[in-house]
Structure 1
């Protein structure tokens, strides 16, 4: 393994004691995440060197993402019991933690050598037995344990297992693949990895004594490059032809070809003449280094689904005898179709791994006990973790066990997650793409991340001082030797959650620590949850304005008669809604704070919709706030008074120099 050491967060970042402990002391959400992770990281899953096994416990980002998913499902609030129960159920479903550890020996050996990662939307054999149900469009990755003829028949059966299950299941093999199961020269033998879709049970939704799978036409074989037999097959059968050698005249005379294609992009298009046919556009590099394009037409939605599960970014294709229909003159692409004689093999990239060094401060599993007392466990310290990387050296941090900080980020890191406070945000004005630059800060530093959207901003209202969680970040090096961080909305694993506006946060005592208003001045970089009452109503300022429905920010009318969003900097005539711009005094038993808000938060505080308020006579509008005197609320408060700069200008200061924004409110 190559050592890939990152300087991890140290105890004293700035020399004044401001380090990792500050986050955990102030942010109850992060403290609960650490506690939840400690519940899923048993000491017995570590070896004598402190290294964890693959299933030693979920990564930090998996814990956070699952907690936030549950919070969205239970907007009225969650408890620690609900969260831990959901985490346990999801983890067991994904990794089968409670299943007997008696996998067939060949699968155990393959697991050690390949360390395969379960692809998205893949079902397990154990889950088929548990639910007695298999969606027809699901993906099943399996390993052949045995191939045999049913006694007294010529019907081939395959006995299958998978890397994540202790159970096995039998499959009736489609006659199309009988030649591959021939015991003399076939390759469907013990240890062969396969991928299936379009499978079904003989009697869905009915309790079966013996569960087995009916034959499927959608059957793909894995060829493993570092296995001698497979390497010889690839070299002998698939490496002599390239797209440039195809002759349509030779095809008409019965010639056949076999190709080895590296996929670099994929696109789904439906043929106008046949809505049941799906075309997958695959850009490949074949033969003598010549970049070529081809269209592989795949009949039916099921086989198309097999290529849309995320697998395409991790495999190459070995195409044996595809049907060559014609050349498409408009784009000069070759059209290859899945014909009756075609065999399709999947060749995974060889999974490389690197060891990432971890500093001792990252190993402190800190957690909340039921009494909400913060303790430090004495778990063995982990000196390094092993993470997968691709052939270009990019390391996948999706299962990294600890929280990543700004100071950790280096070139060629993918699937990074970050938790921090927004200190600046603006739209890039010098590009035709929809790109926003977001400056996010944690206790170790700040960085500028470029957020890429297919069409427009789609993450709802986001303001300065808001606490956010981002996953799916990718790090790369600029020509100036600076680390650039990018986020693409369409990427698998990309998510963005604004915790400051999360409704469940206010109602979930396990995820926040109540603050007094007097705490605000000393702790400005977190979201504060406070119990307050409305005060000094005579100084309350209530206005109605128009905002952009996609981003929640105010719009301005331009001289040409159109309206422009202050945030997106785009014409949004057809996407404006009336909203409040409210400035009001909040008070508790200790002090008072003047704050502002807009959108749903202002509606909750005023207990009337903007349109209803606008329809009131001016006298009633002026008198309305007086009815709210001393009403009590739980509110989320953030510090929005920040200096920010950037191309295209800073986010318009909607706060009118008011330092605190109310991002969420709930009537007590």
Structure 2
């Protein structure tokens, strides 16, 4: 066996390198002198060849490949082109394309929540999963040497563009000949992941996402024909569970309601969001999104028209006989966004009377004279959205087809019927009935007559008797409910109230008042241990061993929701006077400085003597008149007390 010496190995490598250099020199002579790109490729070719020679020297002889070290022309040319392409997309500011410039002129849609611009993606090199991208397709192309379809996206707020790897479920609509996914098309994306190449010049790209919605415009001929041909045959009333297998459906419906995210513990804390759709026949059907699919709802807006191609049709989770739609593996979504119609609304004279003319000075909003009108958006049904109305809404100014209303007033009556709770709310200008719709059951805690409340997200309508009333839905966007009389921050924050004297209180006093008092005339103190429905904060009759407690407030059996509480009637006083008041629950426990359970363990004699031991401790209390003139008589336990006043909240000084 012949062994090569190290000198022979080095010499062989040198000769091979020299031969390669001679070949490069001969090729250089043949290069067109006026083409710098070819010269650059040849230079890169030489560099790559030398690199391979050095790599071969460092590789053990047994692991060496063949002698062919020369690199073909196409490899360095492809690498250089790819590198230049990446550099070209590295975030340098560019002139916006004609597609974006055209879109910018006619763009009237409201910006979606969580929308992020392409410029900010380049700036932060980060993309939250909950982000929404509102984009226009600048280019559609296939990566060289592959079948991977790419979209170049831009937006009207950015100078940069970004490439998206199109998910393969959308390849069929990216057909350049007649597919709707083409240059100039607007799209919405959610659930995007960002891929950033290594190095400072690496080009960010968006990885494929299934949460992709194509926008259509009914005023465009192509889009109008596309909708008519594909989505005007099926309706919700024509489908049934027995006939959906193996049959594809396409529906066109309006988005009426976008529900909150629900968590189903039974299915491993799986998330669900339901969108209520209404078709042209007025039939309603839920479109359910599961798990990560809930991100799609960020692309929707109430009032927009949604076209669903090949949705999965199944039975509802709540009722197996009811149908629902789901985002299946073959589903594709198209959206016709609602344009924000606006109307001029005159500022009522009530504002001038109750709020003062200085609040109407337009200098607070814009330069100009006193405000006489404001412009507010309205939906496709003609309801005007008052959620951004710059002034307080008074009851006397409410009209039919108003939404997003906020009311600040006093509860003068409460009623319950068929799971709907109705409040009669009164302010300085009038009174109106508000119907509260809860997702499951009452969730507002204690609420009584005379309490001061703030409600937002109300909608007005005329009932069959042509009387105006308002409705409130717990989980609608913008809906909130605050009971100021039972809000601890009301007492803890001096800017929310001013201290009143007992002598200032009268039967005509409106709303909750704040006083600094002590407990007086303990001989008139009546402490009664009762049972309370913990969810509502109202008393229930003490159940017998074989009878469950029933709440008169909600009219249902409150199994497992009953707790021991106080019904306390007590005289409170300050330097100016005294008043006889009642209270229950935590407020009574605060005044008595003992819990109901601790009080129950005392002997009967100790329970009688206990109120005399309270001393002259001072409290800051919120007090409301629930028997004020004009207040309606109700069914609640307040009527069991002889006191006209209720202490709704108390804290020890």
Q: TM exceeds 0.5?
A: yes
Shift of the 171–385 alpha-carbon distance from structure 1 to 2, 3 Å rule, reads farther
2-structure distance, mates of 1:569, 1:331: 29
Match of 1:358 in 2: 347
Distance 1:239 1:651 in 2: 53
Aligned-residue offset at 1:469 = 0.9
Deviation at residue 344 of structure 1 after TM alignment: 1.8
Which of 467, 473, 476 is the matching residue for 1:488?
473
Q: Is the 8 A contact 1:564 1:572 kept in 2?
A: yes
Please give the secondary structure, in 1, of the residue aligned with 2:162.
strand
Is the aligned partner of 1:665 residue 2:625?
A: no
The answer (yes or no) to whether the contact 1:472–1:494 under 8 Å persists in 2 is yes
Q: Which residue of 2 aligns with 1:318?
A: 307
Q: What is aligned with 2:296?
A: 306
Query: Which whole-Å deviations, capped at 9, do the CAs of 1:573-629 have from their partners, x for residues lacking one?
Result: 432111112222322232222222111111222222111111112232233333322
Which has the higher mean CA deviation after the structures are superposed, 181-190 or 538-547?
181-190
CA contact (8 A) 1:143 1:191 kept: no
State the secondary structure of the residue aligned to 1:572. coil
Distance in 1, matches of 2:203 and 2:511, equals 56
Deviation at 1:442, TM superposition (A): 0.4
Match of 2:188 among 165, 190, 195: 195
Would you say 1:173 and 2:165 are equivalent positions? yes
Question: How far, CA to CA, are the matches of 2:324 and 2:308 in structure 1?
Answer: 14
Q: Quick one: structure 1 residues 540 and 322, their matched pair in 2 at CA, closer, same or farther if it must change by over 3 Å?
A: closer
Output aligned runs, 1:46-125, within 5 Å: 115-119=108-112
Cα distance change on mapping 1:585 and 1:494 into 2, 3 Å: same
Question: Hey, what does 1:617 align to over in structure 2?
Answer: 603
Instruction: Give the whole-Å Cα distance in 2 for the aligned partners of 1:546 and 1:245.
Output: 53
Structure 1 residue runs of 5 or longer lacking an equivalent are 1-101, 368-373
Look up the match of 2:132.
Answer: 140
Which residue does the alignment assign to 1:79? none
Which residues of 2 match residues 562-581 of structure 1 at below 5 A?
562-581=548-567
Q: 1:171 to 1:420 in 2, by over 3 A?
A: farther
Match of 2:485 in 1: 500
- Corresponding position of 2:80: none
Question: In the TM superposition, what are the counterparts of 1:251-650 in structure 2 within 5 Å?
Answer: 258-262=250-254, 285=279, 301-307=291-297, 309=298, 311=300, 313-320=302-309, 331=321, 338-340=328-330, 342-359=331-348, 362=351, 379=363, 380-428=369-417, 433-521=418-506, 524-557=509-542, 561-642=547-628, 649-650=634-635
Q: Please give the per-residue CA displacement for 1:385-434, whole angstroms capped at 9, x wherever unaligned.
A: 22222332222222222211111211111222211001111222xxxx30
SS, match of residue 146 in structure 1: strand
1:448, CA displacement in angstroms? 1.3
Q: 1:314 to 1:171 in 2, by over 3 A?
A: farther
| SS class of match (1:563) | coil
In 2, are the aligned partners of 1:535 and 1:585 still within 8 Å (CA)?
A: yes
Distance 1:650-1:119 versus aligned 2 partners, 3 A rule:
farther
- Determine the structure 1 residue equivalent to 2:32: none
Equivalent position to 2:152, from 131, 150, 158: 158
Instruction: Please say if 1:214 is aligned against 2:207.
Output: yes
Contact kept in structure 1, 2:241 and 2:323, CA below 8 Å: no
Unaligned runs of 5+ in 2: 1-94, 364-368
* Structure 2 residue aligned with 1:40: none
The separation in 1 between residues aligned to 2:612 and 2:430, in whole angstroms, is 44
CA distance in 1, matches of 2:473, 2:390: 23
- Do the aligned residues in 1 keep the contact of 2:345 with 2:374 (CA within 8 Å)? yes
Higher deviation after alignment, 483-492 or 122-131 = 122-131
Cα 1:114–1:439 change in 2 (3 A) is farther
SS in 2 for 1:514: coil
TM-score, normalising length: structure 1: 0.68
Q: Is the contact between residue 640 and residue 655 of structure 1 (CA under 8 Å) also seen in structure 2?
A: no
Q: What count of residue pairs does the alignment treat as equivalent?
A: 541
Q: Which whole-Å CA distance do the structure 2 matches of 1:603 and 1:129 have between them? A: 58
User: Could you tell me which residue of structure 1 aligns to residue 218 of structure 2?
Assistant: 225
**Cα drift, residue 107 of structure 1:** 7.3
CA contact (8 A) 1:548 1:554 kept: yes
**RMSD over aligned Cα atoms:** 4.7
